[in-house]
Amino acid sequence: MIYKGVIERYREFLPVSSKTPVITMYEGNTPLLRAVNLERRLGLQSIELYLKCEGFNPTGSFKDRGMTVAVSKAVEEGAKAVMCASTGNTSASAAAYSSRSGLKCIVLIPEGAIALGKLSQAMIHNAEVVAVRGNFDTALNLAREICEKYPVTLVNSINPYRIEGQKTASFEIVDSLGRFPDYQFMPVGNAGNITAYWKGYKEYQKVKHSDCLPKMMGFQASGSAPIVLGKPIKNPETIATAIRIGNPASWKKAVEARDESGGVIDTVTDKEIITAYKLIAGTEGIFVEPASASSVAGLLKYVKKGYFSEIKSKETVTVVCILTGHGLKDPDRAIKSVRMPKVVSANLKSVLKVIRL
Ligand code: F0G
């Protein structure tokens, strides 16, 4: 059967009917890759590590899973326009699905604080892009206010259809593995995604009659870690601009996911994020954006801390790291993180000298 996106594949778990016009770009069905090289790096024989490559979605991030449902429902309910505040990926996805559906799309972004790839996506898909002099949290408050007062549908993850669509990623993980993972490491920003995964796992547990659920291990950047600190942050900072959020909308739900699953929400520093970012690209061939690398950064931190040291030598645990967005979203960061190419004269001798064969 030809794959036709998350709504068709998981229709029975989603709030759609035969009347829902399905706006899709065949999102989802992303690879769950075994990361043998990273496993070796971690030095633990007992970890079976998988990477869920969400950057392979049509607009390059996991947001497409939720956006197909949110935009399809907006069309079904007769909306004329959708709106979101965004650190970049939500706006890229909203803009793309809107242009496909014929809806007007308005996006509010924090001025100067979103990666260029994401900005270019929103613009080329004809969204009305407004840069607000403030951060993501201010932009989200404005978007909420506008959507309350005007006939515009908010497509941030406060919109429950977004969470419904995003939960399909956990179904895919279970379907690919043939079982539930033991641990899931992932970035946390506005906290919609951890909420969605946990909802998905719990729903699938009932269907699959399993008694196993993963521990949800969420990671915020240390300069933007309101949930870890237990209070909102006025001026969040991190190079991982996608998760530069000081007051997450789904805060409570993220804490529930953590506590119900017996997991953690913790911090990783920008330095740890960049180390993991380069390691994923350099050992597994997967180019992710910095925010996505915080899942692997979190895993490295917890391995180092001895978190897994109690696993008996014969036992193995299954760990999934969620790689939420593609590296091409933020090429500036890649360029800043590596050595620039050497420039040589255009002759064989000069090239050979550099490539050291
Ligand atoms: N990773 C990436 C690449 C993201 O773009 C985001 C969020 C997250 C992780 C965190 O997910 O917010 O559900 O906890 N990006 C949002 C946006 C905020 O506007 O694109 P979350």
Which amino acids bring their CB within 6 angstroms of ligand 1? 61, 63, 86-90, 157, 187-193, 242-243, 289, 291-292, 324-325
- The structure tokens listed for 318 are 């299954």
- The structure tokens listed for 136 are 């993501």
Sign of CA dihedral 37, 41, 43, 47: negative
Pocket test residue of 51, 86, 87 for ligand 1, highest count of atoms within 8 A of CB: 87
For the CA of 218, the nearest atom of ligand 1: 14
Cα-trace Rg, the chain: 20
Considering only CA atoms, which residue is closest to atom 4 of ligand 1? 242
pLDDT of residue 42: 87
Alpha carbon of 188 to ligand 1 centroid (Å): 7
The per-residue DSSP string of 277-341 comes to HHHHHHHH---B-HHHHHHHHHHHHHHHTTTTTTS-TT--EEEEEEE-BBGGG-HHHHHHHSPPP
Q: What is the mean pLDDT of residues 239-244?
A: 98
Cβ atoms 8, 28 nearer than 8 A:
no
pLDDT of residue 7: 98
Q: In 181-190, which positions are buried (b, 16+ CB within 10 angstroms) versus exposed (e)?
A: bbbbbbbbbb
Q: What is the pLDDT of residues 63-96, one digit of tens each?
A: 999 999 999 999 999 999 999 999 999 999 999 9
Cβ atoms 184, 218 nearer than 8 A:
no
pLDDT at 43 over 90: no
158 exposed, middle or buried (CB, 10 Å; 0-12, 13-18, 19+)?
middle
**CA 107 to mean position of chain CA atoms:** 19
Mean pLDDT of the chain: 97
DSSP 346: S
Q: What is the three-class DSSP state of 301?
A: helix
Alpha carbon of 324 to ligand 1 centroid (Å): 8
Q: What is the pLDDT of residues 116-148, one digit of tens each?
A: 999 999 999 999 999 999 999 999 999 999 999
Pocket test residue of 243, 286, 296 for ligand 1, highest count of atoms within 8 A of CB: 243
| Bridge partner residues of 317 (DSSP) | 47
Alpha carbon of 104 to ligand 1 centroid (Å): 22
pLDDT at 50 over 80: yes
Considering only CA atoms, which residue is closest to atom 7 of ligand 1? 242
315 Ramachandran zone, left/alpha/beta (phi>0; psi -120 to 50): beta
Spatial strand order in the sheet of 317-323: 32-34, 47-53, 317-323, 183-187, 215-221, 264-268
Pocket test residue of 51, 324, 330, 333 for ligand 1, highest count of atoms within 8 A of CB: 324
Q: What is the pLDDT of residues 4-33, one digit of tens each?
A: 999 999 999 999 999 999 999 999 999 999
pLDDT of residue 44: 81
Alpha carbon of 84 to ligand 1 centroid (Å): 13
Alpha carbon of 242 to ligand 1 centroid (Å): 5
Alpha carbon of 63 to ligand 1 centroid (Å): 8
pLDDT of residue 265: 98
pLDDT of residue 314: 73
Question: Could you tell me the pTM of the whole model?
Answer: 0.97
